[in-house]
Amino acid sequence: MRRFRSAVPAEAVSDLQARLNATRWPEPATARGWAQGVPIGYVRDLCRYWAEEYDWAAREQWLNRFDQFVTEIDGVDIHFVHVRSSAPDALPLILTHGWPGSYVEFMEVIGPLSQTHHVVVPSLPGYGWSGKPVEAGWGVPRIADAWAELMTRLGYDRFGAQGGDWGAGVTVQLAARHPERVAGIHLNMISVGPPRGQEHFSEREQQALTALAEFRREGSAYAEIQRTRPQTLGYGLADSPAGQCAWILDKFHAWSDCDGDPVAAFGPDRLLDNIAVYWFGNSAASSARLYWESYRVPQRDIITVPTGASLFPKDIMRPPREWAAERFRDLRTWHELDRGGHFAAFEQPELFSAEVLDFFRGLD
């Protein structure tokens, strides 16, 4: 286990700025607003800020304020933040991000959570400062096994787990594959559908079905390309920081509670912290490859460990509790909140922290 601090060379920062300034932009869209993707003026403004005003050195120092480490598991270096609580008998928690997020999402909740919990925040394989798998097979179940091994190395025999997006998938697989070690799981995204054979739906259930159909029709193209051609996509995004910026920015607009303006909602620095980790880690292809790996083997395990759920109103999926209870047989808490979206810890750190603390407090 090796100590780690982000230390991007000055030459890499200069290269980023040069690439941004030399971007060859496409013509504007033929439809207004975001109908065809990120408007050209919107992404150009953010990329100009990235090239001219964003201070990576200062932001990197801020990101380095918590202890970080790297350890090799199953041939891949795994980067993680680790903050021990001073509280006696603190329950360890492992928090897992998804795409297009990173460990950066959790930076503002580590402090509150570590008051009563040991907190571990790994970067998924192929994301950020973690290593990139060189062979196929690194899907969600294998990552869950790696997380179990990571917690063993840290001396944590029993722990809680939290996640959204791919982090929810990894968290669920921890509960499915290592139930004797997982005290409970908390999810801020639950991917479930109606029970097989159900023909009649309540108004709440019909709303969930309509939202899912709309997402599949209008919002899932990114997943299809990453599921089928992650390598092809990676060539363009690995070469163009403007392209990488737009690819991620599109999802922060679509999935966050931002009133149509993610830069205003998050602030340009916070958005670019996450995007910069993708850029400097050259993570475009390797992060997209998780879709290729994991969509091929759907996970439908019945989960028996205590489960809590916090559904934020602007998230991709907001199924009714009845659907979730078919799979999660010990569903202790179910909260449908009035603000926030897919990037819950990033968008609403105080609310997210309160939800997580409330659930795991009940398991002490």
Question: Could you give the number of structural domains in the chain?
Answer: 1
> What distance in Å separates the CA atoms of residue 101 and residue 277, rounded to the nearest whole number?
10
* Domain-located, residue 26: no
pLDDT tens digit string along 313-339? 999 989 999 999 999 999 999 999 999
Examine residue 25 and state whether it is found in any structural domain, yes or no: no
| pLDDT tens column, 9-63 | 999 999 999 999 999 999 999 999 999 999 999 999 999 999 999 999 999 999 9
Residue 364 has pLDDT above 70, yes or no: no
**What does pTM read for this prediction?**
0.96
Please give the structure tokens belonging to residue 118.
Answer: 């040991």
Mean pLDDT of the chain: 96
Provide CB contacts within 8 A for 326, sequence distance 6+.
192, 195
Average pLDDT over residues 70-88: 96
Q: Is the pLDDT of residue 299 over 80?
A: no
Residue 198, pLDDT above cutoff 90: no
Give the Å distances, CA to CA, from 326 to 196, 225, 321, 322. 10, 31, 9, 7
Q: Do 238 and 284 contact (CB within 8 A), yes or no?
A: yes
What pLDDT, on a 0 to 100 scale, did the predictor assign at position 272?
98
Assess if residue 163 is contained within a domain.
Answer: yes
What gap in Å lies between CA 166 and CA 101, rounded to an integer? 10
* pLDDT digits 0-9 by tens, 263-291: 999 999 999 999 999 999 999 999 999 99
Q: What is the CATH number of the domain that holds 351?
A: 3.40.50.1820
User: Do the domain assignments include residue 30?
Assistant: no
Taking the C-alpha atoms of residue 120 and residue 174, their distance in angstroms, rounded to an integer, is 14
pLDDT tens, position by position, 120-173: 999 999 999 999 999 999 999 999 999 999 999 999 999 999 999 999 999 999
**Domain annotation covers residue 23:** no
Q: What is the pLDDT of residue 200?
A: 86
Is residue 22 included in any domain, yes or no? no
Edge-to-edge order in the sheet of strand 76-83: 2-4, 68-73, 76-83, 119-122, 93-96, 159-163, 182-187, 307-311, 331-336
Work out the angle at residue 347's Cα, subtended by the Cα atoms of residues 345 and 348, and round it to the nearest 5 degrees.
Answer: 70
Kindly report which listed range (3-7, 115-119, 209-213, 287-291) carries the lowest average pLDDT score: 209-213
Structure tokens at 364: 């002490």
Q: What single-letter DSSP state applies at residue 96?
A: E
- Domain holding 160, by residue range, is 2-14+39-361
User: Does residue 33 lie in a domain region?
Assistant: no
Of 164, 91, 175, nearest in space to 341 by CA: 164
Backbone angles phi, psi at 307, to 5 degrees: -130, 140
81: in domain? yes
CA angle 180, 344, 64 (to 5 degrees): 85
